[in-house]
């Protein structure tokens, strides 16, 4: 009975902390910017967050074992440490996922896809269900060459695998995610095989991978291609969808900013809208931070009054949410400003494992949001429908209405 009471108290404390993270992080930045408690640490100041994320040989990624279960024994560069194979795999994928494609392929596709969905919405849309997940999934189909065996199930699979990789252990979630992983592997394997029978009919990522395979490039076997695709799909669909929802949610809570952002949307000022997106996510972030585990004892902030040793084997929350509110590095962090330098945004991480698709995500999120903002009379639906509803970490419903 005493144990049950203690567990109940712990859960209540955890819930309170989660619901008041901004306050907790603010206190920690001033009182204990690197807090170590038993086998857990949280790093909250901007400079210390960047320090930890730049020491990739000491602060290791935590999801290699899970990634190997998802891929049935292999790894994806997201779960690798800095190594020759990491460099090879990242370099290979940068040759086929090209920055030039954003302006030439990705942005036009997202603009067109999102606009068509909004045109058929008739004044009301459930953003994650009918827009943001749909656009993100269709872009994977058009640009990567893997539309999925079923659009909804494909997006669900990516979300469950993401949650399994990056969130605390849950036996039921693991079963769901690994079942989704097996289906994803089979689907991508069959897609590769089909494409090899029908070559050079597309200019997409899969065709480019097969061309590199034809040339004898190391790291471009069918298995390598499949594993890289799984990793990139996991990182593309649920993150894009959630960020678009969070941006809209924040802007709808700020009428003056909403009006200004809508003006930018109606003039197709994508650069300005990207700044609105980045700032909105600072106040309504995708995640509190990034998980790491220490490979050896390390002193964060060595030589300062705040120097703190994090012991080997400690699980570390690198609190990017907190860092982006650090008044020691950001001018007036509590104000919404559109002229902040890009380096102050940590939405896509920092260091070795900065999000591989960050430039695609920036363009795609901006344009999904733009398609909604362009409409007159934009507002939340009444009641609970107009508030974000979650399953796990991801929005599953968020209804907005408009007049035209």
**pLDDT tens-digit series, residues 86-140:** 999 999 999 999 999 999 999 999 999 999 999 999 999 999 999 999 999 999 9
* 8: confidence class by pLDDT, cuts 50, 70, 90: low
User: What pLDDT does residue 80 have?
Assistant: 84
Does this model's pTM top 0.85? My answer is: yes
* 263 compared with 79, residue with greater pLDDT: 263
* 366: confidence class by pLDDT, cuts 50, 70, 90: very high
DSSP helix/strand/coil, 317 = strand
Average pLDDT, the chain: 94
For the chain, domains (ranges, CATH) are 22-401 (1.10.630.10)
Is there a contact between 217 and 225 (Cβ–Cβ < 8 Å)? no
CA–CA separation, 99 vs 70, rounded Å?
A: 28
**pLDDT tens-digit series, residues 107-120:** 999 999 999 999 99
Q: Of the candidates 349, 357, 363, 86, which has an alpha carbon nearest to the alpha carbon of residue 205?
A: 357
**pLDDT tens-digit series, residues 198-219:** 888 889 999 999 999 999 999 9
* 5 compared with 177, residue with greater pLDDT: 177
| 41 pLDDT more than 70 | yes
**pLDDT tens-digit series, residues 298-329:** 999 999 999 999 999 999 999 999 999 999 99
| 48 pLDDT more than 60 | yes
User: What pLDDT does residue 342 have?
Assistant: 95
All residues at 6 or more sequence positions from 355 whose CB lies less than 8 Å from its CB, including other chains: 235, 348, 349, 361
* 76: confidence class by pLDDT, cuts 50, 70, 90: confident
| 141 pLDDT more than 70 | yes
User: What pLDDT does residue 18 have?
Assistant: 67
All residues at 6 or more sequence positions from 382 whose CB lies less than 8 Å from its CB, including other chains: none
Q: How far is CA 360 from CA 39, 157, 231, 335, in A?
A: 36, 21, 15, 27
Is there a contact between 218 and 168 (Cβ–Cβ < 8 Å)? no
Distance from the first to the final alpha carbon of the chain: 59
| 73 pLDDT more than 90 | no
pLDDT, mean of residues 37-47 = 96
Per DSSP, 128 falls in state I
- Sheet containing 399-401: give its strands across: 124-126, 399-401, 379-380
| 3 pLDDT more than 80 | no
């Amino acid at each position: 009975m005493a144990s049950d009471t203690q567990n109940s108290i712990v859960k209540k404390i955890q819930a309170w902390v989660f619901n008041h993270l901004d306050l907790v992080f603010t206190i920690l930045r001033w009182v204990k910017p690197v807090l170590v408690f038993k086998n857990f640490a949280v790093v909250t100041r901007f400079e210390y967050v960047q320090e930890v994320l730049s020491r990739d040989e000491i602060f290791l990624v935590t999801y290699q074992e899970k990634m190997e279960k998802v891929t049935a024994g292999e790894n994806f560069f997201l779960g690798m440490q800095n190594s020759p194979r990491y460099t090879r795999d990242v370099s290979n994928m940068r040759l086929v996922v090209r920055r030039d494609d954003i302006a030439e392929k990705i942005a036009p596709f997202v603009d067109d896809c999102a606009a068509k969905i909004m045109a058929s919405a008739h004044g009301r849309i459930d953003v994650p269900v009918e827009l943001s997940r749909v656009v993100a999934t269709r872009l994977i189909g058009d640009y990567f060459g893997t539309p999925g065996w079923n659009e909804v199930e494909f997006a669900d699979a990516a979300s469950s695998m993401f949650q399994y990789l990056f969130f605390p252990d849950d036996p039921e979630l693991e079963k769901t995610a690994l079942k989704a992983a097996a289906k994803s592997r089979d689907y991508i394997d069959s897609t590769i095989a089909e494409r090899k029978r029908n070559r050079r009919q597309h200019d997409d990522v899969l065709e480019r991978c097969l061309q590199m395979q034809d040339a004898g490039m190391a790291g471009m076997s069918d298995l390598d291609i499949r594993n890289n695709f799984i990793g990139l799909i996991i990182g593309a669909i649920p993150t894009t969808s959630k960020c678009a929802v969070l941006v809209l949610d924040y802007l709808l809570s700020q009428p003056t900013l909403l009006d200004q952002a809508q003006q930018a949307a109606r003039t197709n000022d994508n650069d300005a809208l990207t700044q609105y997106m980045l700032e909105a996510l600072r106040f309504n972030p995708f995640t509190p931070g990034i998980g790491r585990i220490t490979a050896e004892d390390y002193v964060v902030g060595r030589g300062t009054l705040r120097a703190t040793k994090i012991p080997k084997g400690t699980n570390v929350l690198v609190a990017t949410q907190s860092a982006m509110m650090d008044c020691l590095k950001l001018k007036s962090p509590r104000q919404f400003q559109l002229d902040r330098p890009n380096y102050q945004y940590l939405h896509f991480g920092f260091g070795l494992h900065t999000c591989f698709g960050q430039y695609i995500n920036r363009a795609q999120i901006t344009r999904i949001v733009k398609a909604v903002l362009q409409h007159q009379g934009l507002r939340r639906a009444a009641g609970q429908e107009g508030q974000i509803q979650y399953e796990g970490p991801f929005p599953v419903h968020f209804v907005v209405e408009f007049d035209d």
